[in-house]
A and B are shown apart, each in its own frame.
Chain A
């Protein structure tokens, strides 16, 4: 495991700011689930802030809510952070801030809710995992077998990103209430929060405020916040190969998810905005921002501007697992954790050289694979051999490519083998 240069200093001391809602929001109908959403509105319709505008009916249910009030401009292809392009509902903001009728639940009401009712609220408000995967939370909160351990992931091991750190500092009580709700859904007895030791203030806050919450200090290394890694490092047990954390009685939730579950239950607020980090050496004022879903990243960059130099690469997500963008109009979706602007020097690409079998990738692989061997198999399209070397166990953390002195595209070829081996 590797200690990466963190570059969190640019934003870790900056309070979360709210960026004004965009003039035009692009609500992507694809939020990183297998199925895309079906719109519930059509061009010309008036929508209110918080109104449900799209949902998935078959399979795993999920919903999207409008972050603004205004008029539907159209439903058309727009840039997408992963797919490149995808259908989106485009809403013109009327700046009236008209919300759907809502009310705050009282503590008494909340105490009387049972697990089933809590899950229904979390389901209806469209809460998804905010750590990056974007999987609907109510599914994770409906375990098929008893859960004894709940782990709240506050590791934030990706360099540059500080949004989880900031909410842990600024929204400690809310997160703790959210964790209580999650624990109630699961019936979990052991509740841990894992925080890396490079965030001493957050550790201190949770230690002093979180009753019944065991704060686990984790070493700062990448990929400490990976689901499998954090389970191993907190419970000392591993998730069996090919199985889910459920199967060993563990559920992991991100701190951001806990916060949005708090907001859903206590404030009756659907998930239409989130906190994310906008950073990079190109920006004069990198920030932690509270952003409406559907805001194009161009507006975030302008808000943190002016630019010191033109970015050569714009990445959505963390620098290790994020996705490079070719369009600054790409909108934020629920699972967007950050935007990073790299300058020309940082974005420099390198040529692949022959593997010298230095075994750096073998030493560093957090799941014990031999990335260089899977790479060779993958290049020769020997998919069964790639599978033999454990390609399917890859968590795609990218550490092998990071450490490779020959700049080989290891994780990319493993992902390729993974896709081919499954077919």
Chain B
């Protein structure tokens, strides 16, 4: 016992959980939907994913080198941002779109705020919003599923907005992901598989995603119909667009969502109402990413008014 003893403060035990582990497990939960995206839209999707992820990692590295911070590429957070951005992109886009998008997501969405944990907005969605605003033409150019020669088609939501929805699109097609859309958002069952994994493992709680999806269902059922109140096709609204991807994987982003269960419920309902409003009355066919970004801005405010009850207080 001659060696010096380690002296540090309590507790002297620690959970096996780490930031790194959480990030990579969330990434793992996103693999099925990416796999299905590539299957449905072809190899080009894989390129989009690869470019987006590499650009995110490179941007993170450059920023950490420039600011002389610890290099933390291994923690998986930049990888996850790149992956989520790719999942929010159409499969047929010029290669520089994911490149610019990921750069913007990491540089402006995350690093300028101070890096991991400091950003107000979900970085992947910041990247996507930037791309939609800058190059709307590319961002709304969707490929027909299983048509690997890049025949384009509008998304079901866009068609709904124009009032020219193809009637042959069944709920089953939507559930299986056989429709135009972004790489990671189309295959509902694969998304639910990943979401179930995260819920069971306790990495996300039900509060945000369930209230989000629930409020979209109620709102679109009530106001989404063309023939009056309570005639909306809410199942269609749940299965199309980026709702499932957004509700389970983007709105639940730890950094940009509220801390308490109460706060997360408010956050989810807020996202749901904003998404429905944009879809039904807004200028865009889809509102998931903007509604999450808007609620991100409200998260600190929600936190302030939804503190947990402290033991012994009235």
Contacts and interface: CB of A to CB of B under 8 A. Distances in A.
Nearest to B3: A310
Q: Which bucket holds chain A's interface residue count?
A: 35 or more
Nearest to B260: A362
B99 to A, nearest CB: 26
A356 B6 contact: no
Contacts of B311: 228, 232, 238-239, 241, 366-368, 393
Interface in B1-57: 1, 3-15, 17-19, 21-22
B274 to A, nearest CB: 21
Contacts of A241: 310-313
Nearest to A395: B311
> Which of B11, B118, B313 has most chain A Cβ within 10 Å?
B11
Given A356-B254, A356-B255, A358-B22, A369 B310 contact: yes
Given A370-B307, A405-B18, A357 B9 contact: no
Contacts of A393: 310-312
B117 interface: yes
A405 B202 CA distance: 13
Contact of B14 (A314, A325, A326, A407): A407
B3 A328 contact: no
Contacts of B7: 313, 324-326
A405 B12 contact: no
A380 interface: no
A67 interface: no
Contacts of B10: 317, 320-324, 398, 401, 411
B312 A240 contact: yes
B5 A358 contact: no
B211 to A, nearest CB: 16
B260 A359 contact: yes
B12 A324 contact: yes
Contact of A409 (B9, B15, B18): B9
A368 B11 contact: no
Interface in A402-418: 402-407, 409, 411-412
Interface stretch (A140-148, A167-175, A346-354): A346-354
B312 A359 contact: no
A368 B308 contact: yes
B19 A401 contact: no
Contacts of B3: 310, 312
B265 interface: no
Contact of A405 (B4, B15, B259, B308): B15
B11 A320 contact: yes
A393 B115 CA distance: 31
A312 B3 CA distance: 8
Given A321-B10, A342-B12, A370-B259, A405 B19 contact: yes
A350 to B, nearest CB: 7
A214 to B, nearest CB: 23
B254 A357 contact: yes
A412 B117 contact: no
Contacts of A354: 115-118
A243 interface: yes
A365 B260 CA distance: 12
A319 interface: yes
Interface string B189-232: 00000000000000000000000000000000000000000000
A246 interface: no
Interface string A149-174: 00000000001000000000000000
A313 B5 contact: yes
A39 interface: no
A168 to B, nearest CB: 24
A4 B312 contact: no
B116 A362 contact: no
Contacts of B22: 356, 358, 405
> Which of B3, B5, B21, B309 has most chain A Cβ within 10 Å?
B5
Given A240-B314, A359-B259, A370-B308, 15 more contacts: A228-B311, A240-B313, A241-B311, A241-B313, A243-B312, A312-B6, A313-B5, A313-B12, A356-B255, A357-B259, A373-B259, A401-B14, A403-B17, A406-B18, A406-B19
Interface of A: 4-5, 159, 228, 232, 238-243, 301, 307, 310-315, 317, 319-326, 328, 340, 342, 347, 349-350, 353-360, 362-363, 365-370, 372-373, 389-390, 393, 398-399, 401-407, 409, 411-412
9 contacts: A240-B314, A324-B9, A326-B5, A355-B117, A358-B22, A358-B254, A366-B311, A368-B309, A411-B9
Q: Which 10 A-B pairs have the closest CB atoms?
A: A398-B11, A354-B117, A367-B311, A368-B308, A241-B312, A405-B17, A313-B6, A324-B7, A359-B259, A358-B254
